[in-house]
Amino acid sequence: MNTFGLHTFAISPMWEVARIEPQMEILKAHGVSLFEIPLLRPEELDVEATTAFATRHDVELICSLGLPASLDVVERPDEALNFLEAAFRATQAVGGGALCGVTYGTIGKTTGRAPTQAEIDGICRFLERAAAQAAGHGLRLGIEPCNRYETHLINRGVDAARIIERVGAENMFIHLDTYHMHIEEESFEAGFRAAAPYLGYVHVSEANRGVPGRGMVNWPAAFEAMAAIGYKGPIALESMNHVDADIAGGLAVWRPVSENPQDVIDVGLPFLRDVARQAGLTLG
pLDDT tens digits for range 160-219: 999 999 999 999 999 999 999 999 999 999 999 999 999 999 999 999 989 999 999 999
Query: Which ranges of the chain would DSSP assign to H, the alpha helix?
Result: 17-20, 24-29, 47-57, 77-93, 117-136, 157-167, 178-184, 188-195, 219-228, 245-251, 263-266, 268-278
Tell me, what's the pLDDT at 136?
A: 98
Q: What does pLDDT average to over the chain?
A: 94
Tell me, what's the pLDDT at 242?
A: 73
Domains of the chain, first to last: 4-278 (3.20.20.150)
Tell me, what's the pLDDT at 255?
A: 65
Per-residue pLDDT at 276 exceeds 70: yes
Query: Which of 207, 200, 236, 222 has its CA nearest to residue 97?
Result: 200
> What band does 247 get if pLDDT is binned at 50, 70 and 90?
low
Tell me, what's the pLDDT at 256?
A: 66
Q: What span, in angstroms and rounded, lies between the C-alpha atoms of 251 and 189? A: 25
> What band does 240 get if pLDDT is binned at 50, 70 and 90?
confident
Percent of the chain residues topping a pLDDT of 70: 95
Tens-digit pLDDT profile for residues 80-108:
999 999 999 999 999 999 999 999 999 98
Q: What span, in angstroms and rounded, lies between the C-alpha atoms of 189 and 135? A: 31
Q: Look up the pTM and report it.
A: 0.95
Q: What's the average model confidence in pLDDT over 130-146? A: 98
Tens-digit pLDDT profile for residues 40-92:
899 999 999 999 999 999 999 999 999 999 999 999 999 999 999 999 999 99
> What band does 245 get if pLDDT is binned at 50, 70 and 90?
confident
